[in-house]
Structure 1
Amino acid sequence: MIRELLKRKAAIRSSILCTGTTICTPYSRRNRSTVLGIAILIGVLILFASVVTYVADTQSAPPPPLLHHTVLLLDRTDPLPPEINALVASRLERLKQKLPTGAMLTVAEINATSGGNLKPLIQLRKPRSIGSMTTENVEKIASDYKQTWEQRIDALSKQLTTAVTESIETSPIMETTQRLEDLPEYSAAIPRRELIIISDMLQNSRIVSVYKNELFFSDMQHSIWPDFSNIHVTVYQVTRTTQNNRSKQTFQLNNFWKDFFLRCGATVEWHIV
């Protein structure tokens, strides 16, 4: 009897854990390992779900506020010589490379109808070209940048510099600049706005024309005074070769346009090309 009691006591002692209170049988050890494994698996799944959610939120997040908008107006009322086509291509390439991420680029034509209805040829916000390797699909970001930014600007540049344009009588340069106010993304609320004009600046419309003996250079009483507050205007004045047009491209014309933009609240940079 005593021998049997001693055997039972030894068996019970060997089954007690280090805590001194819990009995650990081979079955309970296996059960505890299973529970621990399930807990680890659940933790890994939760972590994975958190990462996926973060990436999804990052990629679908709304764009940041627009802080920079550049508009390029190209005068297509007369054919452009090859050297001006080269200038157009170089300006687009520079904008493609130099505009900051998040900036917007709008390209539009000055043509017979642009004074009443300005239709942009392209209007894009520059996307990111790189992303975080730990939380984002960097290959997709790079691919989207190439397709939605670089390739579209390159295609537009080719279109603008190879298209054949016939001369038209109307050249509503001033009216087209006024239509910029119709672009909601070009309002005075944008901290930085730029306007690039590639044109001979030979205004010719019902309201104002350089070809008529009117008080073109006097204080005009008309309604075309767009709000160009905080806009920097850069003009590339295309020199025309025909006698009738060349004779109109005077310093008086240039001073008139500079005064016009200054009265509208802009700063002006002028280049003769």
Structure 2
Amino acid sequence: MHTRDITQIGGAAVLILGLLFSGYIGDALGKPDPCTAPVPTSHTVLLADRTDIFSATVRGRLAARVRELAAGLHAGDRYSIYTIEDTSPEPVWSACRPRNAEDATISTPGAYWLDVDFKGHFAGPVQALSEKLATAAQAPHSPIMETVAAIASMPTFSPSVKNRTLIIVSDMLENTAGFSQYRSGPDFQQFQHTAYARGVGVRLDGVRVRVLYITRHDAASAHQGAAHKAFWISWLKSLGADVTVEDVR
């Protein structure tokens, strides 16, 4: 056998072993990597309010919720984290949930390397972000509606995605130059006929929206309450969303 042939065989053996230990042979023998799909089958978006400073209890609950949402996802699901800030909305982080050893159709050591990849590219960043998002600073504006509209316009959150979930963690006090709930009362019937309402009138048909409603314990609490919650439920339902509200104190 020629030296060139031996080299090629040796190179092929190294490649096969590398693929085996990284789990790709398992993918070929089992099922395709779900994170290679052009459109996710499921997309969960967490929208966290960082325009106000909340209590340590609320910050702790926010950090825990970030981790809980990630733990409940399946391989191939996309998880994105956005923040409500006085800037154009950009994702803080967005990733497909990779397979781990529990999802694998292969045995160790391939499954071991799936876990290494899962912790390094998904579980680890989620843990770090959960701690970072728990900190916030006061901001002059709180563009909740604009951020929701931007998320609804993302290709990865379009109706082509079978399962879409949006979790909003906020005091829900919209405060922009065009519309402020510090100046306007929670009258949805009046609001829905305004130019501002038309500007944020995206569609959320089939989207599950869960609002984690943070109760304020300062002067801003005068603008919250049952009527304020009803405003947001009406607005989100008018866009086609399936809405639930949970109080966070």
Q: Give the TM bin, normalised by the shorter chain.
A: 0.7 to 0.9
Output the CA distance in 1 between the equivalents of 2:148 and 2:181: 17
Match of residue 221 from structure 2: 246
Distance 1:146 1:197 in 2: 26
Conservation of the 8 A alpha-carbon contact between 2:50 and 2:133: no
- 2:5: which partner in 1? none
1:42-92 deviation per Cα after TM superposition (whole angstroms, max 9, x unaligned) = xxx9xx98x949965636867245111000011111112111111112211
AA aligned opposite 1:237:
Y
- Could you tell me which residue of structure 2 aligns to residue 73 of structure 1? 47
Where structure 2 has 5 or more consecutive residues not aligned to the other structure, the ranges are 1-8
Mapped contact 1:99–1:126 kept (Cα < 8 A): yes
> Residue in 2 aligned with 1:144?
117
Query: C-alpha separation between the residues in 1 aligned to 2:106 and 2:212?
Result: 43
User: Could you give the per-residue CA deviations for residues 8-58 of structure 1, whole angstroms, max 9, x where no partner exists?
Assistant: xxxxxxxxxxxxxxxxxxxxxxxxxxxxxxxxxxxxx9xx98x94996563
- The ranges of structure 1 where at least 4 consecutive aligned residues each deviate by more than 6 angstroms after the TM superposition are none
Does the C-alpha gap of structure 1 residues 181 and 250 become closer, same or farther in structure 2, counting only changes over 3 Å?
A: same
Quote how far apart the aligned CAs of 1:185 are: 0.8
Structure 1 residue runs without a partner (length 5+): 1-44
Question: What is the SS of the residue equivalent to 1:155?
Answer: helix
| Match of residue 232 from structure 1 | 208
What SS is found at the alignment partner of 1:202?
Answer: coil
CA contact (8 A) 2:186 2:227 kept: no
1:186-201 equivalence runs, <5 A: 186-201=157-172
Question: Would you say how many aligned residue pairs link Structure 1 and Structure 2?
Answer: 220
Matched residue of 2:246: which SS?
strand
Q: Is the 8 A contact 2:43 2:163 kept in 1?
A: yes
Task: Give the whole-Å Cα distance in 2 for the aligned partners of 1:240 and 1:169.
Answer: 16
> Which of 232, 235, 241 does residue 257 from structure 1 map onto?
232
Q: Within 2, Cα distance between the matches of 1:257 and 1:234?
A: 11
Is the partner of 1:247 in helix, strand or coil? helix
Cα displacement (A) at 1:172: 0.7
Please give the secondary structure, in 1, of the residue aligned with 2:81: strand
Q: For 1:58-69, list aligned pairs within 5 A.
A: 58=27, 63-64=36-37, 65-69=39-43
RMSD between aligned residues = 2.6
* TM-score, structure 1 normalization: 0.73
**Contact kept? 2:186, 2:228, Cα under 8 Å:** no
Higher relative contact order by CA 8 Å / sep ≥ 6: 1 or 2?
2
Give the Cα–Cα distance (whole angstroms) in 1 for the partners of residues 193 and 185 of structure 2.
10
Matched ranges for 1:157-236 at <5 A: 157-161=130-134, 163=135, 165-213=136-184, 216-217=187-188, 218=190, 219-221=192-194, 222-236=198-212
**TM-score, normalised by the number of residues in structure 2:** 0.80
